Structure 1
Amino acid sequence: MSDALDDILSQIPKKYFTRPKKLLKRLKLAYTVGVPPLLVVPMTDLLNESAGHSFHIGTPDPEMRRIASWIFTTVADDHPCLLAIITALWARSGREDLKLVGLLLANLGGVESAVNPWDIFYELIVGRQSLALEVVLEIAEEMARGGNVVPEDEELWNWAKCGKITHQCAVLVLTLRRDGELPKDLINAAPEGGELFERIRTRLLTR
């Protein structure tokens, strides 16, 4: 038996996968499934203002994972198409868009001929002037959960050399490393961040 989300996704023409703007318009409609509008609006207005997202609908996690699974099922192993979708989602920067970026990157390593998902993530963050810490952590955690090995020190140093945001992101990625010694010099050298970032830095330095 189909449900509201299935109905919306099934009506999206496959040709829209080569037209990311049209696809994203339909995806925003899919995000609304199961979300009570009157209860969500005040929360999303506040979150938009504080985190810089273009929108925050409040889509439940199971629905987001179903949308990601549907995209993979539809696109199959068309890596350039997936990359175009990820890039468009990142550019629009809705809260659900960024959640979906994490889900897609997490599973991209299984796509034939795909590049390293961490390299794609780096390319996404390198041009940003600001980025919500929770977004970086959520995406990185999804990628690690998906079996993508946390980058080695050398790669993270390359991130660090490209600016404040990428350096701080490198530190956040290190929170996912479970074994081995952490590069304390990289952590110490990171530009000053907000209260939560500094707590994370302190915790890493005492490990």
Structure 2
Amino acid sequence: MIRTTPIECEKKVVIPGNHDARNVGDLCFEEIFGPRSKVERYEGITIVGVDSTQPDLDDGHVGREKYEWMEHCLDTNDFKVVALHHHLISVPKTGRERQIPIDAGDVLELLIRCGTDLVLCGHKHVPWVWNLNGMIITNAGTACTNRVKWNIPQSFNLIEIDEEEKGTIKIYRMYSKGGQELVLEKGREKTMR
């Protein structure tokens, strides 16, 4: 049975992946999860979810029409997190690069200019972490598909942000068959806006 009722949760940020945008899945996605792009503010943390999908295509695209909205959402002293499906930087060991968002350079510049602390992305099913000008970009693996690359085990990221400081971040790679690995621990380096 396919779930067709909205998921009840007080605060959630769920963004579509390329398979969600196929065959008018983008419309179904909104019925179940709500808007494909949204912002949630928690105590000292702002999470901006951005739809980077295009209907019936694997390629990513954020779009200039979302830039001003993103800038407005990120105009805060909070710890800033942006989540999108498509990776903004090529992921090692994934072969020929064809699916970085076509506007990745502009998106990266916007995120750095706005003082974004953490970017969450996926798409390639390979986990990786970058530190770009003090902004952490973490690519998730995959927790449930067997479509993994280069014998890389299924995994997902568990992210801890220090409750007191809202700036010390730890990223753990959690393996679907058990075990975990600390892949990043970093304090907030940016000056406040």
How does the TM-score come out when normalised to structure 1? 0.32
Higher Cα radius of gyration: 1
Return the TM-score normalized by structure 2.
Answer: 0.34
